[in-house]
Amino acid sequence: MEYSQLVHLYENLDSTSKRLEKTYFLAEALKQADKESLPMLVLLVQGRVFPGWDESKIGIASQLMVKAISAASGTSPSAVEAEWKNSGDLGIAAERLLNKKRQRALLSSELTVAKVFDNIRSLAGIEGKGSVERKLQLIAELLSSASALEARYITKTVLEQLRVGVSSGTLRDALVWAFFPKIIGILHRCPHCSSLVPNTKSCVACRAAMAGKFSEAKEPKAIEVNSLNEADYNRISSRDILMPGDEALARGIYNHFLDSVQQAYDMSNDFAVVAEKLAASGPAGLKDTRLSVGAPIKVMLGPKVDTVGEAFKVTGRPAAVEFKYDGFRMQIHKDKGMFRVFTRRLENVTAQFPEVEGYVNKHVRGTSFILDSEAVGYDPKTLRYKPFQEISQRIKRKYDIKKLAEELPVELNVFDIMYYNRKNMISEPFKKRRELLEGIITPEKRQLVLAQQEVTSDEGEAEAFFKKSLAHGNEGIMFKNLNAPYKPGARVGYMVKYKSAMETLDLVIVGAEWGEGKRARWLSSFTLACRSGRGFLEIGRVGTGIKEKEEQGVSFEQLTKMLKPLVTSEKGRYVTVNPQVVVEVKFEEIQASPTYSSGFALRFPRLLQLRDDRSASDTTELSYIKKLYLSQRHRAGKKSDS
């Protein structure tokens, strides 16, 4: 596959904000890709060359990219920096400078997706003497063979800044459109160009007006389907067109197909693997997808609720009620001689927690398994539990690991199991998974224990358990549906969390402003954003709660060091940064505000701590902020009535 074809896809994806159009463009590209290029294409449209669970980083700084653009374009590094400052985007700067170059190198050839992918992926493994020169050579080789437009996207991919609006949901839908039978009612035949396209006002393929209705759809070669069982893709071809009896059935069949792709992704945590299976064996091939010990999966998440009654309404009665610990998630993988520990962000922290392997070997029976747990820090002298912020430094530590493990030890609280002795457990009900844990774990306090749990239908008992959890220094309690499967990466109502009254938000930093006076060398005012669909919306700025000395807590210098490599543009004193650094923020009130893109602003925000265990995709959703805003207005109304 030529790289120019992928760039054409990037341009199409970047030209629209409409999800249906993005899905169509992506599905068409997936269908046309050869089998070798397909998994690369799936990763590259996500701006990656490694799957999400792989902690490998390309690791190219902007200044090295400036040198590569300089070498490829024949301009000086200072000229590249001037163009970068003018455009605010190094990718656009590369495009403009390469566009001024009269012709490509005489010996250059058309770039392929495989060549671009292999060169960029190789960058992550280059180390040692002469590594900078070798990296520069690999990047410059690509840019010298690239068109100006290709250079823009190569630059963004190398810097890990490529964003064309492809969410996991869009990619999942596109795989269904590309490799499953086409469903009339989900797709419609354009009367002008005859393409099967989503039912939008104008055809995505030819832009002619469309006004088709399901009742008017005619597809002579379609297979009539009157029940979900008839849509069994073991009996139909991915090339078939299905004509369901009505729109509701069309949606039901489509959701069935989506679930098949989602389940395969939940197992592999890699859409490239899913795409390869679909291309090789069609939809039926997804049944062979298995959990792989050593490859982390996204953890199941629980939305917040405001009352015990609301918790029972979501999970049903009786429910398992467990302590919600003030620690950080640990996903533990063991298989014969292999042992790995991953965080909620799927970072490999095995080396940072050397004691964990000993705890697991001592207290958990089994040859191969994947466990879900919470690591809680404690004081080795008093044995009292410590809050998350005091032990979070262990996650990133690269030196003095043994010493820090002695000073800040952790206790593992195990609460779920996804795989055991060659058997996938995620489809088993939670009650059965808990029973398995109770049978294979020999608990020992301050090493490895089962999460404290009560099974109850009574709200009074749940409230008493909540108070007990708080008395132990925990955040609150979790409610879990006893019959629910383990659903990786989802907040699906199988479990919810009920916390103490003080509300905090996990927000991502998207911008900052250089300080003045004695803070002139630091970033000092930080723009915060919440999550909304595939993007982020600003909700305010924070400058309080941040210290001037690192030993006092999260400092201006620490945040500046973290954010400087993430800067994507600079205008005056204000910088825009890639949304990667997540912080926990408390506030006095949420206010409606036209100032910020979310429509809300935080009154008196204060930074509490860094959330190293959170990624940008874990930040608080706008829908939850709206819920908090409405609930505080409701409380205010009650006060004014009394």
Catalytic positions, please? 324
Please give the backbone phi and psi of residue 136, each rounded to the nearest 5 degrees, phi first. Answer: -60, -40
Q: Beta-carbon neighbour count of residue 240 at 10 Å?
A: 17
CA distance 621 to 301: 13
Please give the backbone phi and psi of residue 206, each rounded to the nearest 5 degrees, phi first. Answer: -120, -5
Computed over its alpha carbons, how large is the radius of gyration of the chain?
26
CA distance 394 to 411: 13
Q: How many residues does the chain have?
A: 642
Helices 3-14 and 19-32 cross at an angle (nearest 10°) of: 170
Spell out a b/e string for 76-90, using b for 16 or more CB atoms within 10 Å of the CB, else e: eeebbbebbeeeebb
Q: Beta-carbon neighbour count of residue 624 at 10 Å?
A: 16
Q: How is residue 121 written in tokens?
A: 């992926």
Residue 548, burial from CB neighbour count under 10 angstroms (0-12, 13-18, 19+): exposed
DSSP classification of residue 505 = E
Which position has the token pair 């602003």?
Answer: 601
DSSP classification of residue 520 = T
Mode of pairing for the β-strands spanning 182-183 and 241-244:
parallel
Spell out a b/e string for 394-404, using b for 16 or more CB atoms within 10 Å of the CB, else e: bbebeeeeeeb
Q: Which helix (H) or strand (E) holds 590?
A: strand 589-592
Residue 324, burial from CB neighbour count under 10 angstroms (0-12, 13-18, 19+): buried
Q: Is the dihedral of CA 185, 187, 189, 191 positive or negative?
A: positive
Spell out a b/e string for 159-184, using b for 16 or more CB atoms within 10 Å of the CB, else e: bbbbebbbebebbbbbbbbbbbbbbb
DSSP classification of residue 174 = H
